[in-house]
Amino acid sequence: MHLHFLGICGTFMGSLAQLAKSAGHQVSGCDANVYPPMSTQLQQAGIDLVEGFDPVQLKSAPDLIIVGNALSRGNPCIEYMLDNKLAYSSGPQWLGENILKHKHVISVSGTHGKTSTSSMLAKILDTVGYHPGYLIGGVPKNFGVSARIGGTAADGKKYFVIEADEYDTAFFDKRSKFVHYHSNSLIINNLEYDHADIFDDLAAIQRQFHHCVRTLPSNGNVIFPAANAAVLEVLEQGCWSQQLSFGAIDAPWQYKLLADDGSIFVVCHKNYNQQATVKWQLSGLHNVSNAVAAIVAASEVGISLQQACDALSSFVGIKRRMESIYSTDNITIYDDFAHHPTAIKTTLEGLREKVGDAQIISVIEPRSATMKLGVHQQALSAVVSDSDQVFWYQNATIDWDLASVAKSCPVPALVAKDIDSLLDAVESAVEANQKPAKPVHIVIMSNGGFEGFHRLLVERLK
Decide if 380 contacts 393 (C-beta within 8 A). no
Cβ count within 10 A of residue 357: 9
Q: How confident is the model at residue 375 (pLDDT cuts 50, 70, 90)?
A: low
More confident residue, 155 or 198: 155
Q: What is the DSSP string of 335-394?
A: EE---SHHHHHHHHHHHHHHHTTSEEEEEE---SHHHHTTTTHHHHGGGGTT-SEEEEE-
Q: How confident is the model at residue 275 (pLDDT cuts 50, 70, 90)?
A: very high
- Torsional class of 228: left (φ above 0), alpha (ψ -120 to 50), beta (otherwise): beta
In this structure, the dihedral spanned by the alpha carbons of residues 447, 449, 455 and 460, taken in order and rounded to 10 degrees, is -80
Decide if 363 contacts 445 (C-beta within 8 A). yes
Decide if 4 contacts 57 (C-beta within 8 A). yes
In the three-class reduction of DSSP (H, G, I as helix; E, B as strand; rest coil), residue 207 is classed as helix
Distance in angstroms (rounded) separating the CA atoms of residues 289 and 232 = 17
Q: How confident is the model at residue 451 (pLDDT cuts 50, 70, 90)?
A: confident
Residue 280 pLDDT more than 80? yes
Residue 78 pLDDT more than 70? yes
**Least confident span in 132-136, 139-143, 304-308, 456-460:** 139-143
Distance in angstroms (rounded) separating the CA atoms of residues 261 and 268 = 19
Distance in angstroms (rounded) separating the CA atoms of residues 286 and 404 = 28
Q: Which helix (H) or strand (E) holds 134?
A: strand 133-135
**What is the residue-averaged pLDDT of the chain?**
91
In the three-class reduction of DSSP (H, G, I as helix; E, B as strand; rest coil), residue 209 is classed as helix
Domains of the chain, earliest start first: 2-91 (3.40.50.720), 102-312 (3.40.1190.10), 323-461 (3.90.190.20)
Residue 149 pLDDT more than 80? yes
Cβ count within 10 A of residue 79: 13
pLDDT digits (tens, 9 = 90+) for 281-318: 898 888 999 999 999 999 999 999 999 999 999 999 88
Residues facing 65 on adjacent strands: 4, 88
Decide if 117 contacts 287 (C-beta within 8 A). no
**Least confident span in 135-149, 203-217, 285-299:** 135-149
Can you give 217-268 as a three-state secondary structure string?
Answer: CCCCEEEEECCCHHHHHHHHCCCCCEEEEECCCCCCEEEEECCCCCCEEEEE
Q: Is the peptide bond before 341 cis (omega within 30 degrees of 0)?
A: no
Residue 366 pLDDT more than 70? yes
Nearest to residue 260, comparing CAs of 295, 292, 284? 284
Burial of 238 by CB count in 10 Å (0-12 exposed, 13-18 middle, 19+ buried)? exposed
Q: How confident is the model at residue 270 (pLDDT cuts 50, 70, 90)?
A: confident
Q: Are strands 389-393 and 359-364 parallel, antiparallel or unpaired?
A: parallel
Indicate if the alpha-carbon torsion angle 137, 89, 210, 371 is positive or negative: positive
Residues facing 186 on adjacent strands: 107, 222
